[in-house]
Chain A
């Protein structure tokens, strides 16, 4: 890591890490009577560790100018490993909270282990820890390949990657201590939010600086999506998290907005976190790795354009469909529903584009589990966007909202689309990054594929069933015109489905563990071979690294 930095970059690394450590000290002192102090200590430790990490290697020789002839992939490698680590943690906690609903006394009377505190650890762990690290890692890789330009410097990618992970650690540890602002998918408190803004601005600057240095005249499709992801997530994050802290010594803050306006802002954020974090970002991944792995150009350039601008424009309107029949003015609800239904068009444009790209490569899909991951991801993307548009319709939403159907729906997206495209991309990317011909075990990729698919299907069917049963029981009337069931009557039949969900989640978790093992062994295999041969091989020199795909194809 450090050996790849120039002396000037090492100095800025030390300066920035020391500043972070100072912030940690300030937080620890200012918040000594509050849980903020605990986070101050964590920030301090993170900053100091980075200072020592750089200092330990400070006097090593600088990298030669030869480094400029190839891409900078070290942050991508570390990002992949971090993503897999978060996947295992996040999914493990997911299985745990699923089990808590079937066996509520698994909390052993400890506050940190109760459902309400573990649930956000699960959602943030998988969305931001696993998903976010995967997006950062792959975006650095894709950005360089599609622009044929090196990242602008070697320090800022590390700042983004490690700074982002510090945010994730603050989030997860905060939830366990009870620090949350209760906004779904935006639970971290004000100081973590401010830190994320700083990290994110640097991320955007890396992107734009690399694009300005590009040797390709056109900006490749995948980069449109990654850019929309970076830009819009920044806007959403800042507006939704506007809040007034109790004091600079308190972790607690109060949202600037209240009631109905807060609800609309929150769902505008929440729905578009799905759109721009969990969809646009991963579409960027898909638009690069799927054609690359299939060895075929993207089926249609025009469909890419339609899909991109359709998603960018229409998703922002759709958030209010989460608030049907509530105290939100009805005109906003109607707009949300309308745009959600139309949104099917750009969504299916991308799903169709991906599947049509595979036309002529179906034999590869049959033989190659990596490509199959990507294909199944595209299918699930099509399914989940159809389901989403359907569930946004008022009449359907009146039944599905507040039930497990919604949980099932988001997991069709999370397991079937987001995780599958990520694993597919990782299996393609890992051998390229570590310069080996293939993964350590293609057999284990195959095993992982079936575990993931089985886990997703069990999970989703369990939740569809329980959600619809729940929704129907709530609105069932008996002959005398009164409600047929009390609320608790509708809780009892959920039990077998909650167990089934835990089983489905467990299969998915085992798959992620298999993937981590496979990646670890691939890295080891690469190390062994590099030592044996005594030199790095097949480092793609820039002039030779002509992309297989030309932009716009």
Chain B
């Protein structure tokens, strides 16, 4: 009977096409559609903040250089990972990550909680030549980050595109994106105050690459690395609650 049915099906090209689409659609639909509708998918974290324009630019450079190929940003709920890297990652922490950078390979360590762990100078040295600070490292050198000036003129457009995919950037943030990128990396400039005004007092404002005179790609990448795992405290609070 089943064989008879199939022999009929394989005589109809359109029927076969529709059958393939129908049969293949079920699994993906059942697993993906609910993630957008049910509340439990992403936790609430009122203190969650968006990336500053400088950090977003750094994130884009991180993507450009393919860093995600060797570094994950997802600490799993396994004992050794929590002990090695810190509290496991929550969904809310990548809520504003378009796209996510959870990664699939750790040729190098996970970076989900790297923010604040090392000094800016360490990061700069490490990116210029990883083997200067970690002799056994197999990471490539990224010397050009220090040589390239950061492209900032179109950061407002970037923020606007982010808003189009539902990241809550305000009109003021979009209008001041370029100035904020400058201000964050040159704390003595008149632009600096706007950054903490718009993105919060806790925002890092300093010359990340050690040179306040120039805004380089290094500034952006280090600013991004220093904020990983620090956009919200939710993960730390959750672990503390569990331990109690």
Contacts and interface: CB of A to CB of B under 8 A. Distances in A.
Interface in A148-171: none
B191 interface: no
A497 to B, nearest CB: 12
Given A228-B24, A260-B41, A178 B65 contact: yes
Contacts of B158: 246, 252
Interface string B160-196: 0110111100000000000000000000000000000
A385 B104 CA distance: 19
A232 to B, nearest CB: 5
B63 A105 contact: no
B74 A313 contact: no
A305 B79 CA distance: 44
A123 to B, nearest CB: 9
Contacts of A104: 130-131, 137-141
B94 A260 contact: yes
Nearest to B107: A101
A325 B21 CA distance: 31
Nearest to A265: B32
A266 B108 CA distance: 22
A235 B105 contact: no
Q: Is the interface of A mostly helix, strand, loop or mixed?
A: helix
Contacts of B74: 326-327
Contacts of B199: none
Interface residues of B, number: 87
B109 A224 contact: no
Interface stretch (B10-18, B207-215, B219-227): B10-18
A312 interface: yes
Contacts of B167: 258
Nearest to A323: B102
Interface stretch (A38-46, A485-493, A516-524): A485-493
Interface stretch (A127-135, A210-218, A358-366): A210-218
A401 interface: yes
Given A114-B140, A244-B164, A329-B40, A208 B13 contact: yes
Given A261-B35, A474-B80, A116 B67 contact: yes
Given A117-B65, A227-B20, A219 B10 contact: yes
> Which of A109, A231, A320, A327 has most B Cβ within 10 Å?
A327
A256 B64 CA distance: 18
A478 interface: no
B117 interface: no
B144 interface: yes
Give the 3 A-B CB pairs with smallest separation, nearest first: A116-B66, A316-B27, A259-B94
Interface of A: 100-102, 104-105, 107, 109, 111, 114-117, 119-120, 175, 178-184, 208, 211-212, 214, 217-219, 224, 227-228, 231-232, 235, 243-247, 250, 252-266, 268, 272, 301-302, 305, 309, 312-320, 322-329, 332, 335-336, 339, 398, 401-403, 406-407, 474-475, 477, 482-483, 487-488, 491-492, 494, 498, 551-552
Interface of B: 3, 6-7, 10-11, 13-14, 16-17, 20-21, 23-28, 30-32, 35-36, 40-42, 60, 63-70, 72, 74, 76-81, 83-84, 88-109, 130-131, 134, 136-144, 154, 157-158, 161-162, 164-167
